[in-house]
């Protein structure tokens, strides 16, 4: 059961083991959520970290069975007081990773509450202390359109204009919106030479290929060959990197997705070895938008969306059948990524809407490996120090709008 944090929690720093546990939970949740989203065909991109952070803030106000279901869906295996402290420390570590000369990373959280609603000081204090999220009062009741616009302006600012309209007009019964925004811009540690970019075939399916610009570079990169996919880590100018998971079978992405687990991914990433690689990587740009309520219910937190059963009394002291009791109406997520010869730019934002009831090095091989990402593949952007995954997606079609 998710109970209020003890006073000592505010001063107890998280251990390395707690941060590692949180990252393992976030990675497993990322793959579980990806499995739910991957049923939809085509390109896909999201920030599991953004979704986890927004839901962790929501989890902080849950109680009883609602809290138990959220903890199970998010795969938390730490007590609540240690989860939030670990999130704070992990966010600080990620911010530090994004302060290099060629790398910029911003993570921001926000709370947007109905004017005059009596949110508990304990909850507001927790949100500020661990998530740097101060309550901003809006009037959803009188002007839901302006309230929506205010949140959208904040998201747009935090994502450098890449996520311009996260929310449509909210309902007048909205009482709280919890937001997270992540923005990343990183230069490759060794940029691709634009003169080496050329149009080549990307095989969308067995009977169809499209011409698309492929970047090329030959370099020493971290590589691993597994049973059903090959993994390649392409570093940015800093501690972050993009990892491309390329199925060995040209159209084996669906099978690879089904078999990919957090343990299998971790094993592959820990077995990366430096090799000389001839890399052919398509330029790509992906935008995605999701309403996540069905997926989150499928992962086990259905009670959070049930107006008669949800218990978020940790936020305002009210639970059903009280008319002021809160429940989640929707979880909205939008994301963007642009990959070119010089850099990667990625952004994502998540909003939880709540209504009231009323590697070791080895000698290089003499012959370089060819890594040609010319068929559907999965990719992720992660912090190499903490192993935290910031973004996750797939490229399944190119040159088709």
Give the C-alpha separation, 269 to 223, whole Å.
9
Decide the pairing of beta strands 369-372 and 273-282: parallel
Return the pLDDT at 211.
Answer: 95
Whether the model pTM is above 0.85: yes
Give the C-alpha separation, 225 to 231, whole Å.
6
Return the pLDDT at 356.
Answer: 77
Sequence-separated (6 or more) residues with CB below 8 Å from residue 389? 26, 27, 30, 48, 49, 380, 381, 382
Q: Which domains does the chain have, with CATH numbers?
A: 7-186+286-356 (3.30.497.10), 188-284+360-395 (2.30.39.10)
Cα–Cα separations (whole angstroms), residue 384 to 250, 263, 313, 388: 28, 16, 38, 8
The alpha-helical segments, DSSP class H, found in 282-369 are 293-298, 313-316
How many C-alpha atoms does 249 have within 13 Å on its Cβ side? 11
Return the pLDDT at 116.
Answer: 87
Pull the structure tokens for residue 99.
């302060």
Give the C-alpha separation, 229 to 245, whole Å.
6
Listed residue (76, 87, 73) closest to 33, CA to CA: 73
Return the pLDDT at 359.
Answer: 40
Sequence-separated (6 or more) residues with CB below 8 Å from residue 399? 202, 210, 211, 212
Return the pLDDT at 10.
Answer: 45
Give the C-alpha separation, 305 to 357, whole Å.
11
Give the C-alpha separation, 44 to 158, whole Å.
22
Output the tens digit of pLDDT for each of the chain's 401 residues.
565 444 334 455 777 899 999 999 999 999 999 999 998 889 999 999 999 999 999 999 999 999 999 999 999 999 988 999 999 999 998 988 767 678 899 999 999 999 988 899 999 999 999 999 999 999 999 999 999 999 999 999 999 999 999 998 889 999 999 999 999 999 999 999 999 999 999 999 888 999 999 999 999 999 999 889 999 999 999 899 999 999 999 889 999 999 999 999 999 999 999 999 999 999 999 999 999 999 999 999 999 999 999 999 999 999 888 888 899 999 999 999 999 999 999 999 999 998 876 643 444 455 889 999 999 999 999 999 989 999 999 999 987 54
Give the C-alpha separation, 121 to 319, whole Å.
17
Beta strand ranges found along 236-272 (DSSP E): 240-247
Return the pLDDT at 169.
Answer: 81
């Amino acid at each position: 059961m998710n109970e209020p944090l003890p006073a000592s929690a505010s001063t107890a720093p998280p251990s390395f083991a707690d941060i590692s546990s949180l990252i393992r939970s976030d990675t497993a949740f990322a793959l579980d959520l990806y499995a739910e989203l991957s049923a939809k065909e085509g390109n896909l991109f999201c920030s599991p970290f953004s979704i986890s952070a927004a839901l962790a803030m929501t989890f902080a106000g849950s109680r009883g069975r609602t809290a138990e279901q959220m903890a199970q869906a998010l795969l938390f295996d730490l007590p609540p007081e240690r989860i939030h402290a670990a999130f704070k420390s992990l966010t600080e570590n990620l911010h530090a990773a994004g302060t290099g000369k060629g790398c910029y990373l911003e993570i921001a959280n926000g709370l947007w509450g109905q004017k005059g609603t009596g949110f508990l000081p304990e909850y507001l204090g927790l949100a500020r202390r661990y998530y740097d999220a101060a309550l901003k009062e809006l009037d959803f009741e009188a002007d839901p359109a302006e309230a929506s616009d205010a949140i959208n302006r904040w998201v747009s600012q935090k994502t450098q204009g890449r996520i311009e309209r996260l929310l449509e007009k909210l309902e007048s019964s909205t009482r709280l919106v919890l937001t997270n925004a992540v923005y990343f811009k990183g230069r490759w540690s060794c940029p691709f030479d634009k003169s080496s970019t050329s149009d080549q075939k990307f095989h969308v399916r067995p009977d169809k290929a499209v011409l698309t610009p492929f970047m090329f570079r030959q370099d020493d990169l971290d590589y691993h060959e597994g049973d059903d996919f090959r993994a390649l880590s392409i570093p940015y100018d800093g501690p972050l990197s993009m990892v491309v998971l390329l199925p060995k079978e040209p159209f084996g992405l669906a099978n690879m997705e089904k078999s990919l687990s957090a343990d299998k991914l971790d094993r592959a990433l820990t077995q990366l070895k430096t090799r000389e690689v001839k890399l052919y990587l398509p330029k790509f740009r992906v935008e995605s938008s999701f309403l996540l309520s069905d997926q989150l219910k499928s992962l086990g937190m259905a009670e959070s969306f049930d107006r008669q059963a949800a218990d978020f009394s940790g936020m305002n002291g009210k639970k059903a059948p009280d008319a002021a009791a809160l429940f989640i109406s929707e979880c909205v997520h939008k994301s963007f990524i642009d990959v070119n010869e010089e850099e990667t730019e990625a952004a994502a934002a998540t909003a939880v809407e709540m209504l009231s009831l009323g590697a070791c090095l080895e000698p290089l091989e003499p012959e370089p490996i060819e890594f040609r990402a010319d068929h559907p593949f999965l990719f992720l952007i992660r912090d190499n120090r903490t192993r935290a995954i910031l973004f996750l997606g797939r490229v399944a079609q190119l040159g088709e709008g």
